[in-house]
Amino acid sequence: MYKILKKKLLAEKIYEYVVEAPLIAKSCLPGQFIIVKMDEEGERIPLTICDYDRQNGTVTIVFQTVGASTLRMTELGEGDSFRDFVGPLGQPSELCREKNLDEIKKKKIVFIAGGVGTAPIYPQVKWLHEHSIESTVIMGSRNKELLFYTDKMEKVTEDLHITTDDGSFGFHGMGTDQLQALVDAGQKFDWCVAIGPMIMMKFVCLLTKKLEIHTVVSMNPIMVDGTGMCGACRLIVGGEVRFACVDGPEFDGHLVDFDLAMKRQSQYKTEEGRKTLAVQEGDTHHGGCGSCGGDK
Amino acid sequence: MDVLKRVPVAEQDPAKRAKNFEEVCLGYTEEEAVLEAERCLDCKNPRCVGGCPVSINIPAFIQEVKNRNFEKAYQIISESSTLPAVCGRVCPQETQCEGVCIRGIKGEPVSIGKLERFVADWARNHDIKPIAPSEKNGKKVAVIGAGPSGLTCAGDLAKKGYEVTIFEALHEAGGVLVYGIPEFRLPKDDVVKKEVENVMALGVKIEIDVVVGKTINVDELLNDMGFDAIFIGSGAGLPKFMGIPGEQSNGVFSANEFLTRNNLMKAFMDYDTPIWKGKKVVVVGGGNVAMDAARTALRLGGEVHVVYRRSMEELPARKEEVHHAEQEGIIFDLLQNPIEIFADEKGWVKSIKVIKMELGEPDESGRRRPVEIPDSEYEIDCDTVIMSLGTSPNPLISSTTDGLEVNRRGCIIAKEENGETSKRAVYAGGDAVTGAATVILAMGAGKAAAKGIDEFLNR
């Protein structure tokens, strides 16, 4: 059992949980994910690690309630426990590896976070900051009310750009519009990390391909075991079958077949399965991409 | 009674069982077991023992059944096997112990598997557990994976007095016994869980939710956590696909995914994990996993076709499973091979194109090689395709352990006789070494490695 030490509502339907998991806290790195199973009947839900405290042995996760399982998860509060909490799974971010430090220091890095994607972006920016590497961060949401982690992000980057789709706060537009604006203003980037809904990552990749900026995306396909056994999370990357749980979750965004990934993500889109699809999409499910049939 | 024929075993009616997940085979009653035991000739030179990968003293336990000393029979089996209730159900006895039974020359071999199952079930129902050793030897062994090889290795070492901890990646112990083999062949709560409890009764600790290679690694186990030796029984890995057009369509699943959703995540019991219930399902492949996937899809309400590129004779699944599948109404489309999957405008499978095959000369596996018959393609309408083509090894441990050699297929290299790997104090066995094989072969490897580890630590 894995005790919930803190629970916080960050924005509408977006929750942050701090969980006691010393072994994971000791070995995890930004970019990796955990699988949480709340109780006997629960699903195994993959969630990207959003922060960790090696000394206190805690791991932080953030998710949005989008269906039956995530909604049920919010019934648990401080002092309760998750039945299972496994990880760290997947490969760490390429940017957050000590042995690559010299290479990484030469790069001009831009992060683009969409919606709940802000949460998994944060530990990467923080890790780089702690290693004296400064990066640019664009974080966007649909409106002001859905923004979160702005204070945390301000502490780890000096070049933070906030966007809202409706213009209620910061730059009026999408992350892609902001990136284009920065480039037009003369800023140069040679490494981009985009995390958010698949449709957003797809459009970031279309733009960065044009701008010739290497782009890494974090894929969150349907998973079951998450340890390299079931093959549910397969993607086509550069024309080959790759498994997000062991080969990813981060991939070269310019090689990912997003249209196929979005189609596969809609697999449980039936009248009775729509709710479940939303759960399986986890923190990348925002509605509006067309995959789920618009249950938003 | 005709002594050449075995005592028949009761089974659930095919029409009824095709709609439920309860166990197909109902097992012998005491009377039936004693009658069947009387057919054993108690050979001086028992070939059955040599046919058993874990060398159970088969004639000895059968004699005890004949004399109604069921507890004694259980103790004899337990000396060699950690999971008798499992083996009695899923071992391919027809090619092992029963395949070499002298009775089988003129008639039907003794029903050794069903007798083993009877004894194990009897012991469970009478709450008889294996006895933990009274003294510990003070040495610690870590076992990676709580599947058949790991449980066997752990059980054997615990009996010798070692302090054993099993690290399991999933949220349940059992490995393929819980995620792969369905409830109707191997009940989870009544059989698997109880067998795992028996291993724990020997003093073995099981830590679930620990992915070795990720949460902790092999060197940490050896250097920081004080383990004197390690057994790797991490099992098979990622599913293979055919690489044909349309294979990424919605409604195409690996057998591993389909079975994991149903068995481990208990989708059939209405747990939270969803499962796609196809109305017309094509299962590609002919192994035991293919049979399990086909019979599961049938029980979820589908019409199921098994497409296999060779003929019935070469079908690698156990005959008993094929027979049960046929009885339940699975349709076998043999000597056919898929070449393309077609999807509708929404990306969902609508049909699969197959080409007919004929058998040519034997290939390196000794089986006749299937050859395409030109212009024989046709389409089978379906809404689901389940690929059951085997697996390739999981890289999690081999890629994070320095000095652990793998072969060109990615399987860990280990000596067959004692499980020794290229890394000192590290042993391995089961599917992680052989690639996908059977439960009993994995158990045999776990047993050999336990012996190897014991010898190593007493050198």
pLDDT band of residue A14 (cuts 50, 70, 90) is very high
Is the CB of B170 less than 8 angstroms away from the CB of A260? no
Predicted pLDDT at B131: 79
Percent of chain A at pLDDT > 90 equals 79
Predicted pLDDT at A195: 96
3-state secondary structure string across chain B: CCCCCCCCCCECCHHHHCCCCCCCECCCCHHHHHHHHCCCCCCCCCHHHHHCCCCCCHHHHHHHHHCCCHHHHHHHHHHHCCCHHHHHHHCCHHHCCHHHCCHHHHCCCCCHHHHHHHHHHHHHHCCCCCCCCCCCCCCEEEEECCCHHHHHHHHHHHHCCCEEEEECCCCCCCCHHHHCCCCCCCCHHHHHHHHHHHHHHCCCEEECCCCECCCECHHHHHHCCCCCEEEECCCCCEECCCCCCCCCCECEEEHHHHHHHHCCCCHHHCCCCCCCCCCEEEEECCCHHHHHHHHHHHHCCCEEEEEECCCHHHCCCCHHHHHHHHHHCCEEEECEEEEEEEECCCCEEEEEEEEEEEEEEECCCCCEEEEECCCCCEEEECCEEEECCCEECCCCCHHHCCCCCECCCCCECCCCCCCECCCCCEEECCHHHHCCCCHHHHHHHHHHHHHHHHHHHCC
Optimal mutation site among A36, A224, A229, A242, interface B, most CBs of chain B within 10 A = A229
Rounded to two decimals, what is the model's pTM? Answer: 0.90
Min CA distance, A12 vs chain B (Å)? 24
Optimal mutation site among B172, B193, B273, interface A, most CBs of chain A within 10 A = B273
Residue A275 scores a pLDDT above 60: no
Residue A291 scores a pLDDT above 50: no
Query: Residues A158-193: pLDDT tens digits?
Result: 999 999 999 999 999 999 999 999 999 999 999 999
Predicted pLDDT at B244: 95
CB proximity under 8 Å: A 99-158 to B: none
Q: Which residues of B touch A44 (CB under 8 A)?
A: 171, 265, 273
Question: Does A91 reach chain B within 8 Å, measured CB to CB?
Answer: no
Task: Name, in order, each residue with C-beta under 8 angstroms of A106's C-beta and a sequence gap of 6 or more.
Answer: none
Residue A272 scores a pLDDT above 80: no
Q: Which residues of A touch B173 (CB under 8 A)?
A: none
Q: Mean pLDDT throughout B435-456?
A: 92
Lowest mean per-residue pLDDT among A228-232, A289-293, B236-240, B344-348: A289-293
State the Cα–Cα distance between residues B71 and B27, nearest whole angstrom. 17
Is the CB of B265 less than 8 angstroms away from the CB of A27? no
What letters, b where the CB count within 10 A reaches 16 and e where it falls short, cover A220-248?
Answer: bbbbbbbbbbbbbbbbbbeeebbbbbbbb
Lowest mean per-residue pLDDT among A220-224, A269-273, B252-256: A269-273
How many A×B Cβ pairs under 8 Å? 116
Q: Which residues of B touch A68 (CB under 8 A)?
A: 272
Q: Mean pLDDT throughout A81-96?
A: 94
Min CA distance, A283 vs chain B (Å)? 17
Predicted pLDDT at A269: 60
Percent of chain B at pLDDT > 70 equals 100
Predicted pLDDT at B367: 80
Structure token digits, residue B435: 């690639």
Q: Which residues of A touch B215 (CB under 8 A)?
A: 23-24, 27, 86-88
Residue A268 scores a pLDDT above 90: no
Predicted pLDDT at A270: 53
Q: Under a CB-based contact definition with an 8 Å cutoff, are residues B308 and B334 in contact?
A: yes
Is the CB of A230 less than 8 angstroms away from the CB of B257? yes
Is the CB of A266 less than 8 angstroms away from the CB of B254? no
Is the CB of A23 less than 8 angstroms away from the CB of B395? no
Q: What is the mean pLDDT of chain B?
A: 93
Q: Is the reported ipTM for this assembly greater than 0.90?
A: no
Optimal mutation site among B248, B341, B391, interface A, most CBs of chain A within 10 A = B248
Min CA distance, B419 vs chain A (Å)? 23
Q: Under a CB-based contact definition with an 8 Å cutoff, are residues A216 and A196 in contact?
A: no
Query: Residues B143-161: pLDDT tens digits?
Result: 999 999 999 999 999 999 9
Min CA distance, B235 vs chain A (Å)? 9
Predicted pLDDT at B397: 92
Which residue, among A228, A229, A263, has the nearest Cα to A249 in the 3D structure?
A: A228
The packing angle between helices B288-299 and B255-262, to 10°, is 50
What letters, b where the CB count within 10 A reaches 16 and e where it falls short, cover B213-242?
Answer: bbbbbbbebbeeeebbbbbbbbbbbbbbbb
Question: Does A71 reach chain B within 8 Å, measured CB to CB?
Answer: no
Query: Residues A121-134: pLDDT tens digits?
Result: 999 999 999 999 99
